[in-house]
A = this chain, B = another copy of it.
Amino acid sequence: MSGARDGWIDRVGLIGTGIMGAPMALNLLKAGYAVTVHSRTRSKAEDVLGAGAVWADSPSAVAEVCDVVITVVPDSPDVAEVYLEDDGVCAGLRAGCVAVDMSTVSPDMAKRVSANVVALGGSFLDAPISGGKTGAEAGTLAIMVGGEGDALERVRGVLEAMGKAIVHCGPCGAGQLTKLCNQIICGLNLLAVSEAMVFAKRVGLDPKTMLEVVSKGAAGSWAVENLGTRMERRDFDPMFMVDLQQKDLRIALDSALSERVPLPGTSMVHQLLGANQAAGEGREGTQALVKVLERLAGV
């Protein structure tokens, strides 16, 4: 249930009820918050509306009735649209509102939206998430927060309804930069499991047994436990889509290039996931990377 520190919050808005946003909205409702939602495709909000959320017809209509507005949309242009277009969040923003963008976008976009929100008397946090669909459902997301510490404390209860690790990473943009570190690691951990799976298959090991034992030692990872097991049972439903991982890696590689940091491994992962996209597998889960390596090896 929402606590005493949430006394200033009458209503929380959430825009973007996709794979991540829908279970996050459900967890807000479960924690006792009054929730208003909007999503580009209304049908994706049905479960959340059924659980007690109220519909609003546009991002501005959400902002007009909410003290806290959360956005969870796919890419930088979507964030620009949701905040800055005529019927965007900024058009309806109340003074004193805290806007929390939990999408993964470029650090520059976070700074641009923040400037607009602050000019209207609101506060902005970039607070991208990790943990996949299962983490969103369980309310155990890792939340990487950039922006003013005061604003974070005002919405901490709201974030705690959705995540188990809420960490202040620095000023505006620092949440997104931390998320890029997260995606660099996720990408290479994914390649790690994929190469091991193809090798195991070719040399005749039982992949399930291999995954079981390596998960207990120095090779253990979230990727081994969650993506390896899905590769093993040929389940390519998205925990997190190839297309979105590619978007994140593109932002990471663009940032790395402009900061002059060579990322040879991340670059290779981006190229190999490009082969998934070329094969029409962009909307599958990232664990589909194993299929690219299988095609390379002819297994």
B221 & A185 in contact (Cβ 8 Å cutoff): yes
Most buried by B among A129, A185, A202, A297: A185
Q: Which interface class (under 10, 10 to 19, 20 to 34, 35 or more) fits A?
A: 35 or more
What per-residue 1/0 map shows which CB atoms of A204-216 lie under 8 Å from chain B? 1110011011101
Q: Give the complex CA separation of A193 and B204 in angstroms.
A: 30
Given A181-B210, A192-B188, A210-B178, A262 and B296 touching (CB < 8 A)?
A: yes
Distance of A262 from chain B, by nearest CB (Å): 5
Does A5 sit within 8 A of B, measured CB to CB? no
A189 & B264 in contact (Cβ 8 Å cutoff): no
A213 & B259 in contact (Cβ 8 Å cutoff): no
B200 & A181 in contact (Cβ 8 Å cutoff): yes
List the number of copies, as a whole number. Answer: 2
A181 & B165 in contact (Cβ 8 Å cutoff): no
Residues of B within 8 A of A129 (CB): 217
Given A170-B205, A265-B188, A200 and B216 touching (CB < 8 A)?
A: no
Q: Give the complex CA separation of A192 and B186 in angstroms.
A: 8
Most buried by B among A129, A169, A255: A169
5 more A-B residue pairs beyond the given contacts A131-B218, A180-B199, A264-B268, with a C-beta to C-beta distance below 8 A? A130-B214, A177-B200, A189-B219, A203-B259, A264-B296
A-B contacts, 20 listed (Cβ < 8 Å):
A132-B218, A142-B214, A142-B216, A170-B205, A170-B209, A177-B205, A180-B199, A181-B210, A182-B196, A184-B195, A185-B193, A185-B219, A188-B192, A192-B192, A199-B256, A203-B255, A203-B259, A221-B221, A261-B299, A264-B268
